[in-house]
Structure 1
Amino acid sequence: MLHSPRPKLIPRARLAFALNFTDRRLFSSLSHERSQPSSPSSSPARNELLDLFDHLLRRCCSAEQPGRVHARIVVAGASDSAFLAARLVSVYARFGLLGNARIVFDETPAECKSNLLLWNSILRAYTSNGCHEEALELYVGMRKVGVLGDGFTFPLVMRDCAEMGRSIWCRSVHCHALQMGLHHNLHVVNGLMGMYAKLGQMGSALQLFDRMSARSCISWNTMISGFALKFDCDGALEMFRRMESEGVEPNVVTWTSLLSSHARSGRDAETVELFGLMRMRGIGPSAEVLAVVLSVCSNMIALHMIKAIHGLVIKVGCEAYLIVKNSLVCAYGKQRQLKDASQLFLEMESKNIVSWNALITSYAESGLCDEAFEIFSQLKKSNGCSLVRPNVISWSVIIDAFASAGRGRESLELYRQMQLANIVGNAVTISSVLSVCAELAALNLGREVHGHVARALLNHNLLVANSLITMYMRCGCLNEGSLVFKKLVAKDLISWNSMIAGCGMHGLGKDAVRYFDGMVETGIKPDEVTFVAVLSACSHAGLVVEGRKLYDRMTEEFGIEPQMEHYACLVDLLSRSGSLQEAGEIVKAMPMTPNVCVWGALLNACRMYRDTDFAEATASHVFNQNWETTGSYMLLSNIYAANGQWDDSARLRISAKEKGLKKVPGQSWIELSNKFYMFSSGRALQLGMEDVHGVLEELTLQMETEDVIPAILLKTAGT
């Protein structure tokens, strides 16, 4: 039983409708026809009556008119005509009145239910209105009453199967078509290819294509579109060339699919080349083609190309198309041409949610999160229909904008507002929120988000799972992070890197090396980030031998050239083990100029081993570079202080002060009742932080008693 809406028909008493004079004159003759004795169904008079009603239904141009004609059909006693019923269903569906169409179908006499035209009409009504499941149920009912379908039925049902993604149904419908002897019907075979292409089964689609005795341009376009959907631009290009070799002229639909396949695969330069070839052959670009090319140009540093295509848009008269305007806003925005993007947005007569999101994204990606939020607020305040209210993309963009700007607390507050607005976050939203939780060590909120992930069945989404791993590892919950990692069916490079970095962060160097070996064994090739993480883990855990071997494997086995970060890790590894001279030689032999991180690693080791002479030599390199940082000054000053050279220590601090260098105070934060409190030395306590400060004093005393940290650091923290 279907549960389709069944709105009331327009009252039959309202018979006047706005047709031209000729139609009114024809319609007025119905009263005379109805006053005569009933004629046999095959009589000329009845046929003329049916033709008249068919003519009137075809001329309907507003949603009110079909109901009025329907009322006259009932009054005239012609509602038992399967032909008119099929026409009524079709006209109602054209105006979106699917409930009325279903009433006509259900109330048609049983003897008419064997009419294939009527079934095709109701199937088309549901399919064209996106009610694919209901259409498939109708198809099952149709076969139960013995109506088997024809060349018009199967393309509709195949489209429904493809949209529902039901492979078993697809195979069954394919068999039904073969049983009906339609394996040579061009429309049916095109529908079968489109169905398999939609499901990603291009092998089956290609078999059907190769067996075709005759092909239309639609056949070729269906195949090229199928390859485009699978991001297989090579397959699409091969089919395109084969099409040309057989003398079939590609049309604008062909070019759109070909360009789309290359754009989807990230082959931007080739997309632009193909667009140029299309223009050379005299094919006028459609709005869809222009949108595809603009999206490609926005990914390239090609502002001149965007402006050239903008000119072409105006030349070919496509500036009124919303899809083109939205693409232009997005393209200018990605090129940081925010003034142009805003101007285009303001010039739009009608805007949809894509338009708003394009402008918000433009400002967000330019790092202007406050401006992006202002536009977002305007969208929230708009009094338009539900289509122009913030959706999950709008919220995700603005949340990520604040997260990327280091304004994590505001990002989390926006996420709370999104939840209150009953907008369900997607994988991108969740990933952004989890990254903030990891940065702020907001474990409680992270666990809350994990619960949402489980309820939304996003556990196996790789982006979300990797974010969960990072969040748990950074918050020190290694067991929970490991559990998420183990439950992943498919792990990528980021999954392994997150585990390696997390272990290294907490001093678990051997575990980090073990994860590295496991990754290599599964066939995933490590990258530069992997080696930074594992070398850093070895450094902090004192695994000198393992670290040296991994560094050698990086260059010899995996062919990765060491970058600055790798040299910094190696220098830190050797320095921490006391091999200061060897570390210094590596620094001197570096093929690039060492940065402050490399010298800082060496200088920090000097502090650990109180090697004043080596520290002075190292610090001189840092000071000569005029880096605007206080770290090296403070490190050398602390080395002097640790060796009792108080005058030298004071001299360095004064020198740093005279140069205007200020040490950025360290900050800490704590989450209490879903609120974050931040504190640092030299700042007044936030309201409500008194209890937190009491706990800190208690912990400090306990740590001092157990000799966990040096007393000098405790005194510094106390100030």
Structure 2
Amino acid sequence: MQPVIASYPNQSILAKSYLDSDKLWVFSFEKIRRKGCISCSSYISFPSSRFAPNFSQLKTDAKNKGAFYTTRCFNGVLGLDQTCEKVEVDYEEISDAVQNGRIDVRALTLTLHDAKTADDMAELLKDYPYLPLQVYNCIIRRLGFAQRLDAAFAIVEWLKKNRTLNELIYNSLLSAVKISKRFYKVSEVIDDMRSQGFEPNIVTYNTLMSIYIEVGKTKEIFNLFSQIEVAGLSPSTATYCTILSTYKEMEDAHGALEYFIKFREKYQMGQLQRDSFEEDLERAFVKIETCTVKICLSLMRKWLLKEENNTAEVLRFLSCMDKADVKLDQYFLGRLVWVCTRKEHYMLVEELYKRSREPGLEGDLSVSVCNRIIWFMGKAKKWWAALEVFEEMLERGPMPNNFSFGLVVSNFIVLLMAARQRGIYRWPLKLLDKMGERDLTPSTKQWNTILIACSKVYETEAAVEIFQLMVQKGEKPSVLTYGLLLSSLEKGALYDEAVRVWDHMRKVGVKPNVYAYTIMASMYARKGNHDMVDLVLQEMAAARIEPTVVTFNAIISGCAKGRMGAAAFEWFHKMEGRNVKPNEVSYEKVIVALARDGKPKLAHQMYEKACKEGFVLKQRAHDAVFKAGGVGGVSVHLDDLGSYPVERRKSTQNKSNQSDFCYSSA
């Protein structure tokens, strides 16, 4: 018969085949360390029909393995303890010898699921009559998790008939009641426990308090706590943490903070009994302080997730924590930052970031938290604050990553427009220089986003320098990159430079797309070189690229900027001849071009045509027709133009700005 390991903790123990025992023997192995002997609660049992184990052989094997052990007969099988000499144990070496004979507690628990009475349990456990009580504790808890509380009670009834019980069995049974949430069994367990001569210990009280938390009986929890001292017991670390959890259940962060302050006063005055804590009193205090901070953090996060704006309440509570000298470290500050998602939380995020920069704070400020703050600042439209956070990362740390740079770039357009208004023309390049000093290289998409921003705010010079810097950094420009540079040059009226960039792009083998062709056609139309516009359209046809309505709108817009209304009108009809359907932008551009060129009748006719086709033009087209009629001596009545158009929000589909067209054409 193989030996049986009745229970096994973290360290395994030696199991050998002793086939000479007619009783169940359990050997308890202990480990010796410099600071004392620490029990491992590890057992080996040897069932057999023969005589007792050969102790001399067992002793020799243990010495060979470097083991120290005591042999003990459980349940008074022999009525005495036998002890062999003590030597050191090497558990790593011993664990390799464990191959067979283990009792699988999980499998054993499964066999007990259907037991209802002590007799059922006696039949199922007949092969394991003398397992250590620790094994039964484990089985009872597992039965609670499996919602088999009847089987757990049956084990206790069977143990009462066959073994000597202790408080641990009843605490395990009470824990099983809690796990299975059959709380009506609590009084039955306590009454049975007292009938067997056991009074509730501190573990019992802790379990009862946690049960009351689950059922929402907060008043009973404080009553139980007062009974602990009456019973002559001392609260443990778990007791204090359970009380704090009660305040969490009540959503009373101030109450939890005040309770911890009173506990700290007792600790500082030496009024706490060291023996009541499972570890050193100093470590217990740290655990309880951490538990307090976690509960306060959890409640603040809960406040922020509610529909109403509780930013002021959180800020006030943070002040209360400061007065109580309870500090949030970097980790907890970051947890609070991550739950801020609404614009109303801006003041709180600003305060949390300020606190995270305070010297002497435990922990390090993480890049992910800084990125979250930058993202939030952008969402709250605090773009310059987001930039300040990014620049502070560059100067003080933590070192930003490419994602940090991407977040800043995502706000680039707004920042550049603000920079233009403030006259900060060189700011984009300075930011890129700082990034280069930290070996942070933007991706191609990020470079293109910067060029889009420069194009939108007509920063042609900055766009050229950024393009050159991109090439110097070894980034290969794409067709989209060239198109963005062409757009900036076209808007800056640098036509010769645009032609050189166009020629260079084709020379290096970058094939133009519809976006690049559109920019060049618009540029030539603005210069009045319509032969080159035709040539561009021919090249598009040769490349099997069909001009879109955006292409013709750009040509018409170029004619309008050059005050060539007749040319714009001609290109409008060419667009219709190519079966490209005009849109609202097409009509608005040609109407403005005709009005500027002193052709009010044509402008009026085009306006009426657009209205008949169901287009609702902007106020700009309406005003252009009316003003052109007055200047040209043509009478245009407001009634003829219909009702005055209501200004609409800009449509994302019909934007005439070519830099918005770039990604859809890439």
TM range (shorter): 0.3 to 0.5
Structure whose CA Rg is larger: 2
More helix by share: 1
**TM-score, normalised by the number of residues in structure 1:** 0.38
The higher relative CO (CA closer than 8 Å, separation ≥ 6) is in: 2
